[in-house]
């Protein structure tokens, strides 16, 4: 668990241990004592390096976000919107389901989405809004409009919902006996499904709009 080549500085060891425990048991359930025991550091180290239990949480959240944003950038690109949607969905799924980040990241995010802390609101602005805006641009192009109409937003949420469902409701999905995609190819299969499903869904909505 610890890379023998690099000494893994104390703050990093704390963040690694804490992230896992926070995700497993929740913020309150997890005690600083536990974290320090797992990280093999003194109990005062958290307060020294992060000032607070909450400070530690914020640091973990931020680092987690930074990693995933850097790893799977989602930016506005050129090209036909159908292709851009495919890329978007693929990147987004890799970002939230891929192995590029610790396994506990998902649970942490799901918990935050359901019950966001102050620390999270900042991250929404940093990451969620830009991502959402990129998606809105793609959907607008697909629907041949330049405005964020109710339809555009509803479609964007439909797409996001399909993706995030696997992350937020993972425990329930597993309880229902459905396997969660984890490997690169499984995730890409899912991306293809959601892309296709959504492109067709949009074509129907567009038709309705055209009628109206």
Q: What is the DSSP string of 57-81?
A: HHHHHHHHHHHHHHHS------S-H
Site for its own copies contains 129 (CB under 8 A):
yes
Q: What are phi and psi of 6, to 5 degrees?
A: -105, 140
Contact string (CB under 8 A) for its own copies, positions 86-125, x = contact: ---------------------x--xx-xxxx----x--xx
Tell which positions 163-202 bind its own copies, by CB under 8 A: 163-166, 168-173, 175-176, 178, 190, 193-194, 196-202
Q: Which among 88, 160, 152 has a CA at the least distance from the CA of 124?
A: 160
How many helices (DSSP H) and strands (DSSP E) are in the chain? 11, 0
Are 53 and 46 in contact, with CB atoms under 8 Å apart? yes
For DNA, what does the binding mask look like between residues 19 and 48, x meaning CB under 7 A? Answer: -----------xxxxx------xxxxxxxx
Residue 37: which of its own copies, DNA, none does it interact with, CB under 5 to 8 A by kind? none
> What are the residues binding DNA (CB under 7 A)?
9-11, 30-34, 41-49, 51-54
């Amino acid at each position: 668990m610890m890379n023998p080549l690099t000494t893994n500085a104390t703050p990093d060891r704390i963040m690694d241990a804490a992230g896992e425990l926070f995700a497993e048991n929740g913020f309150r359930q997890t005690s600083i004592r536990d974290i320090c025991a797992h990280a093999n550091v003194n109990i005062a180290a958290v307060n020294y390096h992060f000032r607070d239990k909450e400070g530690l949480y914020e640091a973990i959240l931020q680092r987690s976000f930074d990693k995933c944003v850097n790893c799977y950038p989602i930016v506005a690109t050129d090209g036909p919107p159908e292709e851009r949607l495919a890329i978007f969905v693929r990147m987004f799924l890799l970002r939230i389901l891929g192995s590029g980040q610790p396994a506990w990241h998902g649970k942490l995010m799901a918990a935050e989405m359901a019950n966001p802390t102050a620390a999270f609101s900042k991250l929404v602005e940093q990451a969620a809004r830009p991502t959402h805006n990129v998606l809105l641009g793609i959907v607008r192009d697909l629907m041949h409009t330049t405005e964020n109409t109710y339809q555009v937003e509803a479609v964007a949420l439909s797409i996001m919902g399909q993706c995030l469902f696997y992350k937020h409701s993972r425990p329930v999905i597993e309880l229902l006996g459905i396997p969660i995609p984890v490997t690169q190819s499984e995730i890409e299969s899912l991306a293809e499904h959601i892309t296709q499903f959504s492109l067709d869904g949009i074509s129907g909505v567009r038709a309705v709009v055209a009628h109206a």
